[in-house]
Structure 1
Amino acid sequence: MEPAQGETRITWQGKAIADLPGAMADEAWFLLSSFCSLHLWIPGTVQTCRLIAGVEGQPGCVRYCASPPGENGKPRIWAYEELLAFDPAARTFRYKVADNNIGLKRFDVAFKVADGDGGGGGCKLEWSFDCDPAAGWSEESITAFLQSGIEEMAKSVEEALRVAGATAVVVN
């Protein structure tokens, strides 16, 4: 719903960032660019991530994400997310959270793998959001939730690259 003339729309915005000093941006993007692989990179937060509509990596595709189950055996958090844009050259994609069980109405997200600062190699992961206020959440709590996820993601990427590097050394 658009605000009436003269009213200001209140939105929340935030960004979570994790540095990966030992990973080049193209390496990290190669691992993270599959829209439906979130469960591989933040398994403590997302247990299930699967394509439910459309073609993987194509705008309009929809994924279903769910956390590990709670005491009742059902996921504590679940969401359907629609891919809005995918730009491999810029190593970024945008999506929106659609139906969910945590009270989010309008929640737009951008994910990016950027070159590290200072030209010394490495890269950084950026997860940003723009949303309407949601009951039970604050701008800070959403940012903290994404920060926790992106830090877990960075550790998973570093571990995958470490294992791949060790395997390459053994094979060569």
Structure 2
Amino acid sequence: MEAVQQQAKWKGEAKTDLPGAKAELIWPLLEDFFGLDKWFPTLSTCIPVEGVSGKPGCVRFCAGFKSPVDGSDKQTVNWTKQKLLFIDPTHMTFSYSIIDGNVGFHSYVSTVTVLPKEDGCEIQWLYEVEPVEGWRLEQLDYFIGTGLNVMARRMEEALCAMEDALRA
């Protein structure tokens, strides 16, 4: 009988600080489960597939273009279906899993939390996934980390725009 060696799941964490942004203002932007495309840089689409946004069991379809690495002009569309597993507005945290897609993520589960800080807040993104063919863990850490940083900047800009509109 042949022994099957199974690699341990990859586990990663990304964090970003939002100085001056109160957690209570950032949370509603993240809590909108069907609105991820407003914030995450590689997504052009995030639409409801099933359920009510913010209710466990709801499913979103996310898609975006992946630029080729071979120098050609051919772009491919990466897509996933993601299911909200758990949400706790009091503790400003939720978990979701990727249930289908063409990006090679199997058994992906992520938990996103907004943590209040004295000078603003921090967004923490924890994830675990089976090793992804064609990737190294460091690449996935970089992808999620840079995506989270862009999300945070876009959220800060949106809050500033809302504040400016209220002052006008």
Say whether the fold is shared (TM-score over 0.5): yes
- Aligned partner of 2:16 in structure 1 is 18
Mapping for residues 54-133 of structure 1, pairs under 5 Å: 54-68=51-65, 71=73, 74-75=76-77, 77-116=78-117, 119=118, 121-133=119-131
In structure 1, what is the Cα distance between the partners aligned to 2:136 and 2:28?
Answer: 33
Determine what percentage of the aligned residue pairs are the same residue.
Answer: 34
Q: Alpha carbon RMSD of aligned pairs, Å?
A: 2.0
Q: What letter is aligned with 2:141?
A: T
Q: TM-score, normalised by structure 2?
A: 0.88
| Secondary structure of residue in 2 paired with 1:68 | strand
Measure how far apart 1:131 and its partner are: 1.3
User: Aligned to 2:142, which of 128, 139, 144?
Assistant: 144
**Structure 1: which 5+ residue stretches go unaligned?**
none
Measure how far apart 1:72 and its partner are: 5.0
- Aligned partner of 2:70 in structure 1 is none
Q: TM-score, normalised by structure 1?
A: 0.86
* Bigger fraction of residues in strand: 2
Runs of 4+ residues deviating >3 angstroms: 68-74
| Secondary structure of residue in 2 paired with 1:106 | coil
In structure 1, what is the Cα distance between the partners aligned to 2:28 and 2:59?
Answer: 20
**Structure 2: which 5+ residue stretches go unaligned?**
68-72
Q: What letter is aligned with 1:66?
A: A
